[in-house]
Amino acid sequence: MPPVPIVIIGGGVIGSAIAYYLSLQQPGCQVVVLERDPSYAQASSALSASSIRQQFSTDINIRISAYGIDFLRNVGTLLACDGDTPDIGLHEGGYLYLATSAGEATLRENHALQQQHGADIALLSPAQLQERFAWLALHDVVLGSLGLSGEGWFDGYLLLTALRKKAQSQGVRYLADEAVGFDIARSDGVQHVNAVQLKSGGTLACRFAVNAGGPWAAAIAGWAGIALPVVGKRRTVFNLASPAPLP
């Protein structure tokens, strides 16, 4: 049987990561990634704050992040391509969570779960917080949780380009076009996507269609009659600087 064609809608970090892993685990598998804007000027991957943390309150999230930080630490080796070793500027600066008396129990409960998974998280008393962060206002703070390693930020666009380049080196084809719908066949009450309709005209036949549309994933799912509860929302990052020296 010839390789089964797979079409991935969305060529950002998620779509490119899927393409990378598919082509890595199934050499020769035909994978096509549809990306409507190859410049990624308005893509979530390029505009993201691109951070990672271990301080979650659910088992699955912590496990995903543990895998994620290991991948990010080894990007240079995993995504090396044509003699180029990518550097995504990973900086493990950590996250700091602060709790008042109302949130102390939750912070301790989360910390216990995080430690079960080997996350490098420290609980800090107000005195310890004052010693580390002299500028903090601690009048109502009773506990802090600080990521000592495994948390921080990186360059999301560099990660995207590294994933895309590696996927292409493994045979993945990127097509600059926009998906606008599905051709769907129904048999015995089951529907299957036979092709992806393209804005440029025509269709792209496939055996599997992968929805990697990010904030636009709900619209794509809607073509298959699936109500996906994903809504894009604007978020803002503020970068503050002081005109006077800080301690």
Mean pLDDT of the chain: 94
Q: Where does 94-197 have alpha helices with state H? A: 104-116, 126-132, 156-169
Query: pLDDT tens across 130-171, in order?
Result: 999 998 999 999 999 999 999 999 999 999 999 999 999 999
Does residue 17 register a pLDDT over 60? yes
* Chain centroid, CA 188 distance in Å: 36
pLDDT category at 189 given cuts 50, 70, 90 is confident
pLDDT at 191: 87
pLDDT category at 177 given cuts 50, 70, 90 is very high
Query: pLDDT tens across 29-79, in order?
Result: 899 999 999 999 988 888 888 999 999 999 999 999 999 999 999 999 999
**Other Cβ atoms closer than 10 A to 166:** 24
pLDDT category at 4 given cuts 50, 70, 90 is low
pLDDT category at 3 given cuts 50, 70, 90 is very low
pLDDT at 1: 40
pLDDT at 93: 94
Residue 81 DSSP code: B
> What is the amino acid identity at position 194?
N
Tokens 């949780």 map to which residue? Answer: 145
pTM of the model: 0.90
The answer to whether the Cα torsion of 197, 200, 206, 212 is positive or negative is negative
Does residue 126 register a pLDDT over 70? yes
Does residue 99 register a pLDDT over 50? yes
- Contact yes or no for 191/224 (Cβ under 8 A): yes
Report the range of poorest mean pLDDT among 112-126, 161-175, 231-245: 231-245
Q: What is the maximum span of the chain, computed from C-alpha positions, in angstroms?
A: 71
